[in-house]
Amino acid sequence: MDISVTARRADAPDVVFLVDLYRKLEAEMSAIHPMWPRADGLDEPVDEAFLACLGDSGTRIYLGEIDGYPLGFILGRSRELLVHEAGVRVAAIRMVFVEQDARGVGVGEVMRDTLMEEFRSTGHQLFDSHVLPGHRLAKNFFEAGGFAARSIIMHHSDLGDGGRRIRAQFLPPAES
């Protein structure tokens, strides 16, 4: 049976879907590194953060849908380069997530390509994406889209709670 995989711009009524998807992304990323929800995710309360993103002219959020039902999201943000690169902007994919059961059928790819086309239409030619070290799934996904690593963040915590904690495999919680 054919399925329809599409991406559409998120709007305020979609925040309920976005928060649900974000919580699943947060759980998955936190299992790889505990700094993700503290430094790389969204400010709490997350619903307000999404609303602020939707109202920000430099930020774009798309929902990925199968047969019209939202099963993933992507968030990208435009930013300026340094002063001596006046007028040049880079679009950063800050986060992307697809529900476990909907992976591998192109939802991520459609969202990534749609977001990049949108940024290209406003003059962007440079794109970054944020991937945790050791996260092969996400690395493969972005490499398939033509991305290559250009930077890695090294982290140290005096508190002993933010250091290295990488699990290659995330095991989703069992269905209740």
Ligand X SMILES: CC(C)(COP(=O)(O)OP(=O)(O)OC[C@H]1O[C@@H](n2cnc3c(N)ncnc32)[C@H](O)[C@@H]1OP(=O)(O)O)[C@@H](O)C(=O)NCCC(=O)NCCS
Site for ligand X, rule CB under 6 A = 25, 28, 95-98, 103-109, 131, 135, 137-138, 140-141, 144
CB of 43 to ligand X, least distance (A): 16
Q: Which two tokens stand for residue 46?
A: 């997350």
| Cα dihedral 27→55→43→63 (10° resolution) | 0
Residue with smaller CB distance to ligand X, 14 or 28: 28
Report the distance separating Cα 96 and Cα 64, nearest Å: 10
CB of 94 to ligand X, least distance (A): 7
CA distances from 73 to 1, 26, 126, 158, 162 (A): 24, 13, 21, 34, 27
Report the distance separating Cα 115 and Cα 62, nearest Å: 7
Residue with smaller CB distance to ligand X, 78 or 112: 112
Residue with smaller CB distance to ligand X, 85 or 155: 155
Residue with smaller CB distance to ligand X, 52 or 144: 144
CB of 98 to ligand X, least distance (A): 4
CB of 23 to ligand X, least distance (A): 12
Q: Which residue is nearest to ligand X (CB)?
A: 108
User: Which is it for the CA torsion 29, 33, 36, 40, positive or negative?
Assistant: negative
